[in-house]
Structure 1
Amino acid sequence: MTDLRRTRLLIIGSGPAGYTAAVYGARAALNPVLVEGLQPGGQLTITTDVENWPGETAIMGPELMAKMRAQAEHLGVDLVSDIIVDVDFSRRPFRCTADSGMVFEADSVIIATGAQARWLGLDSETKLRGKGVSACATCDGFFFRGKHVAVVGGGNSAVEEALFLTNFASKVTLIHRRDTLRADKINQKRLLENPKVVPVWNATVADVIGSDSVTGLVLEDTRTGQKSEMAVDGLFIAIGHDPATALFRGKLDMDPEGYLLTAPDSTATSVPGVFAAGDVKDKTYRQAVTAAGMGCMAALEAERFLGHASAAGSA
């Protein structure tokens, strides 16, 4: 027999967007259920110092997420350690099936499943994440004042990350596997005219050197295969992000990159009653504070939707 649970508001995902939506949903007496997903707390759980969260001079990423979770729990949010593996948005109440077999029926749903940075796939890169390897210059650039950092990538994201890092680093090396950039011409011009930026063409990162922190890179020439070493203090990966939206493909409108599309100035998706917040719909800012803001918006919009639906049902 299927284990069925009924809720007015189901939140899928548990990063800043999900937990904030849960807090606002609880305060609106919606008795939300939050399914935490594969990585409770989201990407902040694999970061170290966070210095751009309002009200915190410095806090570790996992600690910040633990505080958000505790706040949601304190307000009575039902936190479920499970993963949603299937959704049916074709009728209301919506049906969302978890990996455990539990089925959630919900009058409204907030999707806050986030996005994951694409990585190079190196063991050394994984070992040194948060110790000089990062996928967010806005988050971590401040820690590299006066140092030499490298950025991997050739698109607009890589160029923008490199230009941002010139505000802090003494030197920024941009490493690209080809000999031309994919970024738009204006960004390319700004990058190549910046005296702090040195491009390295036709190269990939074969290894990251360091034990407790990044001290250098092993580069491989894409034409000859020849390897060389470069001393750097930090490595920023800027080869794109993948939104966690495979579950919703064919069920909600998305852009070509898989980000959920929402109405202007709103978190409303293409299905009334389903909302999207945070990195799952935001490929521009990708910050904890903007994700939290969208979580607030989604909960307020869900409350309004449920209020209108109740009014229509009783009319």
Structure 2
Amino acid sequence: MAETYDLIIIGGGPAGLAASIYGGRAKLKTLVVNKGTIGGLVDTTREIVNYPGYIQVSGPDLMKDFHKHAQSFGVEFHKGEVVSVDFSQEEKIVKTKKGKEFSAKAVIIASGSEPRLLNIPGEKRLRGNGVAYCATCDAEFFEGEDVVVVGSGDQAIEEGMFITKFARKVTVLVLHDEGILDCNKVSAERAFNNEKMEFIWNSTIEEVLGEENVEGVKIKNLKTGTSSELACQGVFLFVGMVPSTNYLKDSGIEMDKRGYIPVNDLMETNLEGVYAVGDNRVKYLRQVVSAAGDGATAAVAAERYIEELNSFNANVLQSDKKVLLLFFNALVNESLEFSTLLEELNNELGHEYKIVKVDMASKKKLAEKYDVKMAPAVVVLDQGKEMKRLECTLDKEKLKTQF
């Protein structure tokens, strides 16, 4: 039997934690399922200087604050890797690698992203034996040694500078011409002034060399096409991220060709009651502050969705009376006139029916569910089962004959 919650959040990074804070505060029974350390990739970040309210803070410390905040609102946490989901029913199912099963009316996908692999010879074989993707995690293991950093974005340059605190020398392989880096100008200036950092321009890595541990790298010059070898004991790859969404492959969730999830302003996916936030969604800015904003938005949207779902179930699907589900458009006079006429007619019939009004502007998914494209429209339901549809006319007598 699945353990039941109001809201399940897959992922415990800043987006997921922010969502859990809002979920817990809204008195939703909220569960965060997270496969690794709470905080996600932020937990591996040495220094954060652009999160509002913190002039300077480490990633782990900031995430501890997020975690404590969520716990203060009664949020539950489960450590486990989600391997499959079933979003086909009202109650969504989330399953973990160890066989745990959870259900909820709403799910927020906040599983983030992970380092992109180059899939070059030697990379996978020597991962953990000199090949690394996180300076904060692994830099100390290269005390007094030579390290190669691949990449020139913010992450590569900032992490590279951190590695210089331990390594004897850090050599950065850059695709571009001399002097051109992809990182911000402040980091670039600091890197150029760092005596322990060197740069090899117009170059990329072809292979990681070594038997049991990294012994060097094979480098290709993109302009000349020539290859050379450089001795080193460590290789840090910072060549971008990929979304951690493989477990959603057969879920019905719409994703782009890279695996990122498109959402609307409410963080809604193409599936009702399922939201996506943070680094696994299509977005412009991937930062802690924007992830937290995503989480807050999704949790508020999920809260309202759950409230509306519970209300719909109680007032419509479980109603003792037959229900006239009236779809209307508040901006169209005819729609409003018909609504008034329907109420008058129901009053004359001794309130035989229960009228439930649905504003199509704010309940688009409900309109889609009943395949209603224009207002006014009336679906007659009995215990949730559709009996018929009324012809919406302003002719009272003609309308009356349909009852």
Q: Please indicate the TM-score interval, normalised by the length of the shorter structure.
A: 0.7 to 0.9
Q: Counterparts of 2:238 and 2:38 in 1: how far apart (Å)?
A: 23
Q: 1:202 to 1:102 in 2, by over 3 A?
A: closer
Find the counterpart in structure 1 of residue 298 from structure 2. 298
Find the counterpart in structure 2 of residue 287 from structure 1. 287
Find the counterpart in structure 2 of residue 90 from structure 1. 88
TM-score (norm 1): 0.73
Verify: 1:248 aligned to 2:248, yes or no.
yes
* Residues 183-213 of structure 1 deviation map (CA, whole Å, 9 limit, x = unaligned): xxxxxxxxxxxxxx98414655858xxxxxx
Q: Counterparts of 2:77 and 2:150 in 1: how far apart (Å)?
A: 30
Q: Counterparts of 1:311 and 1:165 in 2: how far apart (Å)?
A: 50
Verify: 1:314 aligned to 2:320, yes or no.
no
Q: Hey, which bits of structure 1, 4+ residues long, moved more than 4 A?
A: 131-144, 151-154, 202-207
SS at match of 1:50: coil
SS at match of 2:99: coil
Q: Which consecutive unaligned segments of at least 5 residues does structure 2 have?
A: 140-146, 165-169, 193-198, 210-215, 316-403
Q: Which consecutive unaligned segments of at least 5 residues does structure 1 have?
A: 155-160, 174-196, 208-216
Q: Which amino acid aligns with 2:183?
A: F
Q: Which moved more, 1:30-39 or 1:86-95?
A: 30-39
| Maintained 8 Å contact 2:219/2:230 | yes
Verify: 1:81 aligned to 2:100, yes or no.
no
User: How far 1:170 sits from its partner (Å)?
Assistant: 3.7
Q: Counterparts of 2:298 and 2:66 in 1: how far apart (Å)?
A: 17
Q: Which amino acid aligns with 1:262?
A: V
1:227 to 220, 226, 229: 229
User: How far 1:303 sits from its partner (Å)?
Assistant: 0.8
After TM superposition, list the pairs within 5 Å mapping 1:90-239 onto structure 2: 90-119=88-117, 121=123, 123-126=129-132, 129-130=135-136, 131=139, 137-138=153-154, 150=172, 152=174, 162-170=181-189, 199-201=201-203, 204=206, 206=208, 220-221=219-220, 223-228=225-230, 237-238=238-239
Q: 1:236 to 1:168 in 2, by over 3 A?
A: farther
**Relative contact order higher in (CA < 8 Å, ≥ 6 apart):** 1
- Seq. identity, %: 28
Q: 1:52 to 1:312 in 2, by over 3 A?
A: same
Q: Counterparts of 1:61 and 1:136 in 2: how far apart (Å)?
A: 21
Q: 1:23 to 1:58 in 2, by over 3 A?
A: same
Q: 1:96 to 1:269 in 2, by over 3 A?
A: same
After TM superposition, list the pairs within 5 Å mapping 1:24-103 onto structure 2: 24-103=22-101
Q: Which amino acid aligns with 1:18?
A: G
User: How far 1:99 sits from its partner (Å)?
Assistant: 2.3
Find the counterpart in structure 1 of residue 376 from structure 2. none
Q: Counterparts of 1:276 and 1:66 in 2: how far apart (Å)?
A: 23
Q: Counterparts of 2:314 and 2:155 in 1: how far apart (Å)?
A: 48
RMSD over aligned Cα, in angstroms? 3.4
Q: Counterparts of 2:57 and 2:255 in 1: how far apart (Å)?
A: 34
Q: 1:308 to 1:100 in 2, by over 3 A?
A: same
How many residues are treated as equivalent by the alignment?
A: 269
| Maintained 8 Å contact 2:39/2:60 | yes
Q: Which moved more, 1:102-111 or 1:276-285?
A: 276-285
Q: 1:153 to 1:116 in 2, by over 3 A?
A: farther
Q: Which amino acid aligns with 2:90?
A: R
Q: 1:142 to 1:246 in 2, by over 3 A?
A: closer
Q: Which amino acid aligns with 1:249?
A: K
TM-score (norm 2): 0.58
Q: Counterparts of 1:136 and 1:93 in 2: how far apart (Å)?
A: 45
User: How far 1:249 sits from its partner (Å)?
Assistant: 1.2
SS at match of 1:291: helix
Larger Rg: 2
User: How far 1:128 sits from its partner (Å)?
Assistant: 6.7
Q: Which moved more, 1:13-22 or 1:125-134?
A: 125-134
Verify: 1:266 aligned to 2:266, yes or no.
yes
Q: 1:45 to 1:312 in 2, by over 3 A?
A: same
SS at match of 1:305: helix
Q: 1:35 to 1:235 in 2, by over 3 A?
A: closer
Q: Which moved more, 1:37-46 or 1:240-249?
A: 37-46
Q: Counterparts of 2:184 and 2:150 in 1: how far apart (Å)?
A: 12
Q: Which amino acid aligns with 2:219?
A: E
Q: Counterparts of 2:102 and 2:262 in 1: how far apart (Å)?
A: 24
User: How far 1:294 sits from its partner (Å)?
Assistant: 0.2
User: How far 1:77 sits from its partner (Å)?
Assistant: 0.2
Q: Counterparts of 1:116 and 1:288 in 2: how far apart (Å)?
A: 15
Q: Which amino acid aligns with 2:228?
A: Q
| Maintained 8 Å contact 1:150/1:236 | no
SS at match of 2:114: strand
| Maintained 8 Å contact 1:245/1:258 | yes
SS at match of 2:258: coil
